[in-house]
Structures are given as C-alpha cells and as structure tokens.
Structure 1
C-alpha cells in the first residue's frame, strides 16, 4: 500500500528533533533547526514542521519556543521509536548488492524508518533501495520511490524480489516465478515483457516488505 511519507528534508528535520531530545532532554527551537541544518529561513522550518505535524510525526505548541514533542514518546523511549536501515543505492542494472549483515553501518548511508512504518525490532536484515524506472508501476511502485527489502536468498512464486542476474551482472526488481526449468521475472507494467532465465542465473537478494513513496 502506498502511503504519504516524509520528504528527505522533512526526514532530516524529524531525525534532528529525535536526536536533539534524546541527547538534551528538551526539544529544539525553530532557530536551532534552522542553524544546525543550514536552512535558509525560519519560515521554511515552520513549513516543514507543519507538514510533519499533519503527518502525525510531531506535536507543536506555538505558544512556547521549544514546543515540539513526539506523540506518545518520552526521551527515554526514543531509542525504541525509530529505526534505521542502510540505503544501498539504486536498484537498476549494476553490481550485485552486498549482504546488509556485512555492511559497516557506521559508514553506510542510512534512512530513518519510523515505527509506524516498520517497528525497529523487525528491521534486522532489512535494507533500502531507490527505484529507477517504472517496471513495477502497476504494483504502485514508481520511479524515485524507496523499497524496503528483507535480505533472503530464496523466494516463493509471486513475491516481489531484488534478483541478481549473474551472467548479466545486473540487479532488477521483479515478481518471481519458478516455471519448470526456468525462472520468470515479471514486471508489473503491461508495456514491458518478462525476463526468462535459467535457475542457476538468478540469485535472490531480498524480498520487498514495504515502500516509501517519493513526493517529488
């Protein structure tokens, strides 16, 4: 199911608020956010805070300078409120993906996954990829969206997976089907043909478990 999600800027502000409250025990002011995130004006900060409030990510009290809070959360509970997963790049033709369990999470780019998307205790082995192209548009996955995948090396018929084509040294996002002595990788786009290949030419590198929609 597609859902309205935060933009990159809003996710950055949200994460800043979470980290600020965790580290200092108070919420940041609008000027704190503007200064530390190098935002052009306080009005831009206010606009993005209003969006976060409409999305239910924060609660604002405009009558005080540090009137931002997180719904139902106290600083002591923030570590359980959000999770992060590595963003491994763009899912398109290219090099095979690394196993997320072998990635140095201190150096890999990461994205914030709020608990209302996937609870942090269910993020083990999960990674993210940005989608390029419209081969899965009929499955409501569009160009620029981010897919969340759980690392696994097997798949059942009909599951949407990241599949590496070994001979082509390419990774593609498709639905997986095993048919007799071949594998069918099926796009969700009526204008695109399926990919047929031998079973030993396919390496499953994860199953799609969620989608973060791009608003751009």
Structure 2
C-alpha cells in the first residue's frame, strides 16, 4: 500500500511522461508535491522503488523505469501494465510541440551522512540516500560521495549549515584544500588542511572557531571538497 505522497508522486511522474515524453526534474517534483527540499523526493522515489513500482537505472540521473501502476491509477499491481523506460536524456522520437526539452548531465552519488563544520562529530560510515549532481562536478579519477553540513565554521568559505558538499575520495591533500578529516579514527570534520612540520592544522573559515593543531598520525584525510549543492 502506498502513502498519499507516494501515490501523488507516482501519478505526477506518469502524467508528465504521458504528456511530454520525458520525466519531470527533481525540482518540478518537489514543487508539485509542495515539499521543502529534494531530499523528500529522493525518499519517495526510494520507497516507490522498494515497493516495485519504479526502477532507477544505475549511474543515470532522471532515468526511471515504471514497472507497474496501482489500480487507482489505471494499472494492476500484478499484471496488465507494460514496463516503460523513461530516459532522462532526449527521447528518440520528437516530443509533442508543447514539450519542454531538458538535457541533464548528472550522476547520482551516495549521501554518507552529516559532516561537522564546527565541533567534530562521529565518523561517517553508511550511505543514507543518493543525490544527483552535475557531471562536471565529479570529473576526474576517484570515487565521490556527498555529506550534509552541520555547523557554521566554514561560512567564510561559502559553506553554510544545511548545505550538501561533494567530496572526492582521497587520502592526500595540499595546503589550503578543504578536506574531510578523520580525527583519531573517531571524529569527522570539514576544515582547511595545512601541514606544519610533523603536525596537521585544521583551520575553520569562521573567526569564532580556533584552528586545531594535531600530530599528523592523529589525522587522516578521507576526501577533498570538489563541489557544493544548496537548496533554497
């Protein structure tokens, strides 16, 4: 059984595909359902996928396969509905004259939890959901992941509480890089990295926070900042 929000989203996606030949964007879904952020859309899509109504195609943002529709939307929970592939790129055939063409160069990466831009918090371990990011933001070698920022110690670097930062996984950093630093294998924090002899300085971008200087063996770089996503 679907919740009202899940049913509303499935109906909206189905109507847009029938009308335009392409799926709505996450922003359009968010606005249609009167949600405050796209993370709510990600949760609804995940729930629909877990219940077998849609399927996401790996490594392709806005590429969905509608597997079935509930009877209330004119389908059958077990048969009578042919699967339809909804590709996030332009369709092979020309869309209707009133359709709006949307080309999306994006990939989905896992959101691994929260990172402290302030007092360090526990180390990041498990993915909570995925987020779509522009393909150009994750260019280059290495795996990428995202973290939700908690705190205000990096505000002078343009990183606010509630932002989502995109991180390229790496164990090395240059002086001045903004990194995910694991402190004493227990706490993770987002700070500017500076090497000072045999010590590591983790510097905030907010004068209200002091720079932390630790022996280099107590700090492990887990990734470097490559992008930022902000929802208004």
- What range is the shorter-chain TM-score in? 0.5 to 0.7
CA positional deviation for 1:139: 0.3
Aligned to 2:100: 69
8 Å contact 1:155–1:207 — kept in the other structure?
yes
Aligned to 2:229: 212
Q: How does 1:81-120 map to 2 (within 5 A)?
A: 81-92=105-116, 93-98=120-125, 108-115=128-135, 118=137
Cα distance in 1, alignment partners of residues 99 and 131 from structure 2: 22
Pick from 190, 202, 206 the counterpart of residue 173 of structure 1.
190
2:200 is paired with a residue whose SS is strand
8 Å contact 2:115–2:124 — kept in the other structure?
no
Cα distance in 2, alignment partners of residues 46 and 132 from structure 1: 26
Distance 1:175 1:28, change over 3 A: closer
Unaligned residue ranges in structure 1 (runs of 5+): 1-12, 49-63
With normalisation by structure 2, the TM-score equals 0.56
Cα distance in 2, alignment partners of residues 188 and 88 from structure 1: 23
Structure 2 residue 32 is the aligned partner of structure 1 residue 45: yes
The aligned length equals 156
Cα distance in 2, alignment partners of residues 143 and 66 from structure 1: 43
8 Å contact 1:28–1:68 — kept in the other structure?
no
Cα distance in 1, alignment partners of residues 208 and 218 from structure 2: 24
8 Å contact 1:131–1:142 — kept in the other structure?
yes
Larger C-alpha radius of gyration, 1 or 2?
A: 2
Distance 1:132 1:66, change over 3 A: farther
Pick from 168, 176, 183 the counterpart of residue 200 of structure 2.
183
8 Å contact 2:20–2:99 — kept in the other structure?
no
Higher relative contact order (CA 8 A, sep 6+): 1
With normalisation by structure 1, the TM-score equals 0.60
8 Å contact 2:149–2:163 — kept in the other structure?
yes
Cα distance in 2, alignment partners of residues 214 and 147 from structure 1: 12
Aligned to 1:7: none
Aligned to 1:3: none
Aligned Cα root-mean-square deviation (Å): 3.8
Cα distance in 1, alignment partners of residues 212 and 163 from structure 2: 22
Q: How does 1:133-172 map to 2 (within 5 A)?
A: 133-166=151-184, 169-172=186-189
Aligned to 1:26: 21
CA positional deviation for 1:46: 9.7
1:158 is paired with a residue whose SS is coil
